[in-house]
Structure 1
Amino acid sequence: MKVAAIQMVSGISLDANLSAARALLDQAARAGAELAVLPEYFCFMGQHDADKLLLAEQTGLGTVQDFLSDAARELKLWIVGGTLPMATDDPAHAANASLVYDHKGHCVTRYDKIHLFRYDNGREAYDEAAVLRAGDTPVSFEMPTRHGEHWRIGMSVCYDLRFGELYRMLAADLLLVPAAFTHTTGQAHWEVLLRARAIENQAYVIASAQGGVHENGRRTWGHSMVIDPWGQVMAMQAEGPGVVLADIDLERLRSVREQLPSLQHRRL
């Protein structure tokens, strides 16, 4: 199955971000991808964290959800909508939600980011919990391919990457990591964490990132990539908008798990 990690440098205009995302999804579909994963905050990166609350959508209603459904149906492409703000019962907090749409435009599942990022090195400071409500439920789904294969796909978002226990619970063939890693933390930890998650779970990883300098002044690390179950980087783009394509193979997955059956050797 051909997959696509979509990298963006999203800004403060919803319309401009959706237009950019659609162009990249078109490119992925033309290249033969069956699954495309957009990055965290693909639809909006405002001047201030609280700005996203103004765009929070109700389940099944909203511009971003309509966009994802229409794009998936028109392109006949499974699309993971990075993340978008979804309303909660508290108007001061939204869920940072990743929605999956099948090739007919139906919403298959939703995952709300469980681990919320907080960081302060004296120069940069972030606290997602100020405006976001954490999810509490791991989510995976089954995806049939055009050739009749079935993939178990596990969902995560950005800061989740630091919590290996989540990926163990997902027990997936393919792990998704839409993200907006800061340049500082990404340069230090992004690739090594992604490769570790692939190796220890003997699974493919699709990591779709924000990558560049944004209108709000934030700089994200980028380096969107696809990694195989042996921990090898199959394809990667460092910065700027783009589509990272790779062919993933269930036989390769089975071969790695048979040659080194570490998943069967767990004692704890």
Structure 2
Amino acid sequence: MSEKLNVSLIQANLEWENTDANLQMFSAKIEEIKGETDLVILPEMFTTGFSMNAESLAEGTEGKTLEWMKKKAKEGNFAITGSVIIKESGNFYNRLIFVFPDGNYHTYDKRHTFTLAKEDKIYTAGTERLIVDYKGWKICPLVCYDLRFPVWARNTVDYDLLIYVANWPEKRIAAWDALLKARAIENMSYCIGLNRTGKDGNDHNYNGHSAVYDMLGNALSHPEKSEVFVSTFSLYKTELKDVRNKFKFLQDRDDFSLN
């Protein structure tokens, strides 16, 4: 078990529907990470932007992006995560992939497809939440619109870190800021939101605001708006345990199950 987890955020402008350009860009940004890291977080649909053009852009379950993620994880001896457009058994998924340094991986299909953009008409919603066990840390990775639905994130399993990867537009960034902090507080968990920047092919603007919160909702980062932001934050298991043992708020949580 690792007492400290170093997590690196890469907030960047995405080339619209250009997988090769985005993989090349993120390869360069990974090289900018200073010091050792345990986990690298990339945005939602980090190879394409938030596109509904799934028929043209989808990769298979063992596509080039997964191979790239495995390669980077092995080279850097870190885990890496972000979401990608995947086609499987005739269906399209906005699929988060969590790759371990040894090349093994877990997947999570976005549960709440964004109806405002008609994502629900193109992509099949996931049905199961993922809890990753990595270096003794229990991690719950979710995707963008999932942030608006606290029941899906409810910490019924004592996870340590909640992650959201996103393409969250600037015009609704106040909700992003507020909800990330709320998810940290109500779940007594570290909470990280990783958003993109720039403008996509639908003329939606993104201004980042990637953030890291501790289990009491204290910001460990400043809302970063720059086009490219690469930074590493250290999370501490003892601090998390001490706060939970002191306040014991999770012991008073409502008893229910996620169906």
- The two structures have a TM-score, normalised by structure 1, of 0.87
Query: What's the counterpart of residue 136 of structure 1?
Result: 127
Partner Cα separation in structure 2 for residue 245 and residue 20 of structure 1:
18
Q: Which of 100, 103, 125 is matched with 2:101 structurally?
A: 103
Q: Structure 1 unaligned segments of length 5 or more: list them.
A: 120-125, 145-149
CA distance in 2, matches of 1:170, 1:68: 28
1:172 is displaced (CA, Å) by 1.1
Alignment size in residue pairs: 248
Q: State which of 3, 10, 17 in structure 1 corresponds to 2:14.
A: 10
Structure 1 residues 171 and 164: alpha-carbon distance in aligned structure 2, compared to 1, 3 A threshold: farther
- The residue correspondences of 1:115-134 to structure 2 (distance < 5 A) are 115-119=112-116, 126-134=117-125
Compute the displacement of 1:55 (Å).
Answer: 2.4
- Name which of 244, 249, 255 aligns with 1:262: 249
CA distance in 2, matches of 1:108, 1:71: 13
Give the Cα separation in 2 of the matches to 1:153 and 1:131: 28
Runs of 5+ in structure 2 lacking a partner? none
Work out whether residues 44 and 167 of structure 2, in 8 Å CA contact, stay in contact via their aligned partners in 1.
Answer: yes
Call closer, same or farther: CA 1:51–1:256 in 2, change over 3 Å.
same
Q: Could you tell me which residue of structure 1 aligns to residue 52 of structure 2?
A: 50
CA RMSD of aligned residues (A): 1.6
Retained in 2: the 8 A contact 1:138–1:170?
no
Amino acid at match of 1:55: L
1:206 aligns with: 192
Distance (whole Å) between structure 2 residues aligned to residue 107 and residue 8 of structure 1: 26
Deviations 1:24-53 (A, max 9, x none): 22223x43211111110111127xx33233
Q: Distance in 1 between matches of 2:123 and 2:219?
A: 32
Q: Is the 8 A contact 1:154 1:171 kept in 2?
A: no
Partner of 2:111: 114
Q: Do the aligned partners of residues 69 and 267 (structure 1) sit closer, same or farther apart at CA in structure 2, a change above 3 Å counting?
A: closer
Structure 1 SS opposite 2:220: strand
SS at match of 1:156: strand
Q: Which SS does the other structure have where 1:114 is aligned?
A: coil
* 1-structure distance, mates of 2:179, 2:202: 27
Secondary structure of 2:140's aligned partner: strand
- Provide the TM-score with structure 2 as the length reference: 0.90
Indicate whether 1:88 and 2:88 are aligned: yes
1:175–1:184: structure 2 CA closer, same or farther, 3 Å change rule? Answer: same
Question: Displacement, 1:216?
Answer: 4.4
Tell me the equivalent position of 1:62. 63
Distance 1:89 1:77 in 2: 30
